[in-house]
Structure 1
Amino acid sequence: MSTNHEELTRLARTLNPQIIDEFRANRGKMKNFPGPEFLLLHTHGARSNQPRTTPLRYIKEGDTYILIAANGGAPRNPDWYYNILAHPNDVTIEVETEQLNVRATVAPPAERDRLFAEVVRQAPDFAKAQKGTSRTMPIVLLECVTEKD
């Protein structure tokens, strides 16, 4: 019997290439997804070191891009989160038509709580995802850098 997490993983593998294609075809605008904007997160696998591209919703605070490691409320953090932990200085994002080098950090608990409240204000479905899991969903902060470190 498959779990919701396994179903979500299968769905993501099917939908992510379509979302990436739509993102690029529409200069970063997603017509079928209301709420926060999308970006494409480029990482390298934590174990494989293979390039990975993940479409994610984000909010922005000042110059910082904010991602929530929701994984649909699954009991485990998403793979992209572990990729960032393994290679925090080897991350780029596509926002609209720009490709940006970023440095990734995980928000400390107090900052995470403040940011999570703002994320939920803009995208209430993240509150439902948080209620569906016993883990605290991490928040990742992406700050632009001029060159990769």
Structure 2
Amino acid sequence: MDRQEEIADSPNEWVAQHIRHYLETNGQARPGMNDLLLTTRGRKSGKLRRTALVHVRDGDRYILAASNAGADQHPAWYLNLTANPNVTVQIGPESFPAAARTATPDEKPRLWELIVAAVPSYQGYQEATSREIPVVIIDRTY
């Protein structure tokens, strides 16, 4: 992703405020949360899109839940990375290129347990929707 290219932050005002705070504090996460910024390329617009998400670690990998707070549709960031898995991640002050993919059915149960153990509200999100919430695995590409 071209660093000079403009990045559009989430249209959700709460998320946009969180992104601004994260950037202004050089990547300071919310207390008790493992936050990161994920930049994807819009599958329709081709523009860079940034959102703030909670992650868990699995070795060197970063694990995300595409929960959309229990909504019945996948979040836009997830749809974007399924169309183009090349993403940029910022954790703290560090940004790096990465590749994102959906966990396989064999991988998902263990990873879902890690997510729910870290953030129990994700179980409620799954119960609130009929769709299966995807788990995303992010690997650094350098």
TM-score over 0.5 for the pair: yes
Q: Is the 8 A contact 2:34 2:56 kept in 1?
A: yes
User: Over aligned residues, Cα RMSD in angstroms?
Assistant: 1.5
Once residues 36 and 109 of structure 1 are traced to their aligned partners in structure 2, the CA distance between those partners, rounded to angstroms, is 26
Look up the equivalent residue of 2:29 and give its one-letter code.
M
Unaligned runs of 5+ in 2: 1-9
Asked if 1:46 corresponds to 2:52, the answer is no
Distance, in Å, in 2 between the alignment partners of 1:91 and 1:59 is 17
What secondary structure does 1:39 align onto? strand
Equivalent pairs: percent with the same residue?
Answer: 35
TM-score (norm 1): 0.84
**Is 2:112 the counterpart of 1:116?**
yes
* CA positional deviation for 1:35: 4.0
The number of residues matched between the two structures is 133
1:145 aligns with 2:125: no
Q: Stretches of 4+ moved more than 3 A in 1?
A: none
Q: Which amino acid aligns with 1:119?
A: I
TM-score relative to the length of structure 2: 0.88
Distance 1:46 1:114 in 2: 29
Which piece of structure 1 moves more, 21-30 or 65-74? 21-30
What's the offset of the Cα at 1:12? 6.0
User: How far apart, in 2, do the equivalents of 1:30 and 1:143 lie?
Assistant: 20
Do 1:35 and 1:122's aligned partners in 2 also have CA atoms closer than 8 Å? Answer: no
Match in the other structure for 1:127: 123
In structure 1, list runs of 5 or more residues that go unmatched.
Answer: 1-10
State how far apart, in whole Å, the 2-side matches of 1:21 and 1:14 are. 10
* TM superposition shift of 1:112: 0.8
Report what 2:24 is aligned to. Answer: 25
